[in-house]
Amino acid sequence: MSEPRSRRRLLADGARLAAAGAAGGALSSACAAGAETRKKPPPSDAMLVAQLIVLERVMQDVYGRAITSGQLDSGGLALAHEVLGHERIHESELRRQLRLLSGTALPVPRSTKELEKELAKHHTKVALDRHRSGRGWLKLLVDVEDVLERNYHTAISILRSSSLLTLASEILASEAQHSALLGDLLSPRNVQKALPNAFINGT
């Protein structure tokens, strides 16, 4: 219901939407170094926050699907519920920040196709409707957490506001913890496999 209204607002603000789309592109493709050296100006803080909100929503959707799949065991289910709560809080705080910046929210993907398209933009090709085992869902959640980590990591290299930098860092650290615990479920008591990287940048 709210989507058409949101779309109209966005269409009326076409230039901003286009710029915000560029922000999405910047987030999905720019590495930290590239973002600094690219010739066109980097996306604004509002654009970056708007794109992160979209990804937080994608994340929530995928966690929701994992929860309702009936495939997760009790440990996986408990973690998924807890992380889903975190992602909602992240989104809520980012939306608050976007309002403070007088920024424009981007439309969030609603259908399965839109979700898959959004993930594909971030180099994660996935068929969400495919049947998965509990382990398969956990692996998918790890992949999607990687997408978020990559985007927060990139945003931290571009954001200008100190408070947003702190917020993005706190959320990146939170996403890193989610990955660690998902990894621990996939490889119990094998910390080398659960936490394979000394640097968390979503790669």
Partner 1 sequence: MSGSESASSRPEPASSRRELLGRASSRLIAGAALVCAGCGASQSATSTRKQISPGAEALDVVLLNELLDAEHRAIAAYSNGIPLLSGYNQRAARNFLGDEFNHASELISLIGHHGGKANRAQSSYNFGSPQSEDDLLRLFERIERQQIGVYLAAIPIVTPGRMRAALAAILGSDAQHIAILRKSLGTPPLISPFVTAAG
Told to check if 201 binds partner 1 by CB under 8 A, we report yes
Told to check if 198 binds partner 1 by CB under 8 A, we report yes
As given in the structure block, the two tokens for residue 171 are 């959320």
CA 3 centroid distance within chain: 20
- Segment contacting partner 1 by CB under 8 A, of 1-9, 59-67, 114-122, 180-188: 180-188
- Segment contacting partner 1 by CB under 8 A, of 15-23, 114-122, 128-136, 187-195: 187-195
Which residue in 33, 39, 70, 111 binds partner 1 (CB under 8 A)? 33
Amino acid identity, position 12? A
Told to check if 173 binds partner 1 by CB under 8 A, we report yes
As given in the structure block, the two tokens for residue 192 are 């080398």
> Given the complex with partner 1, which of 101 and 180 has the nearer CB atom?
180
How near is the Cβ of 6 to partner 1 at its closest, in Å?
A: 25
Which residue in 21, 184, 186, 187 binds partner 1 (CB under 8 A)? 184
For residue 132, give every residue at least 6 positions away whose Cβ sits within 8 Å of its Cβ, in sequence order, or none.
69, 71, 140
CA 163 centroid distance within chain: 19
Amino acid identity, position 148? L
Place of tokens 């609603």: 110
Told to check if 64 binds partner 1 by CB under 8 A, we report no
Which residue in 25, 32, 64, 73 binds partner 1 (CB under 8 A)? 32
Query: What sign results for the dihedral spanned by CA atoms 53, 56, 57, 58?
Result: positive
Q: How many residues bind partner 1 (CB under 8 A)?
A: 49
Rounded to whole angstroms, the Cα distance separating 144 from 120 reads 11
> Given the complex with partner 1, which of 116 and 145 has the nearer CB atom?
145
Cα dihedral value 182, 188, 190, 191, nearest 10 = 40
As given in the structure block, the two tokens for residue 95 are 């939306």
Told to check if 189 binds partner 1 by CB under 8 A, we report yes
Q: Please report, as ranges, the residues that interact with partner 1 according to CB under 8 A.
A: 32-33, 35-36, 82-83, 85-87, 89-90, 93, 149, 152-154, 156-158, 162-163, 165-181, 184, 189, 191-192, 194-195, 197-201
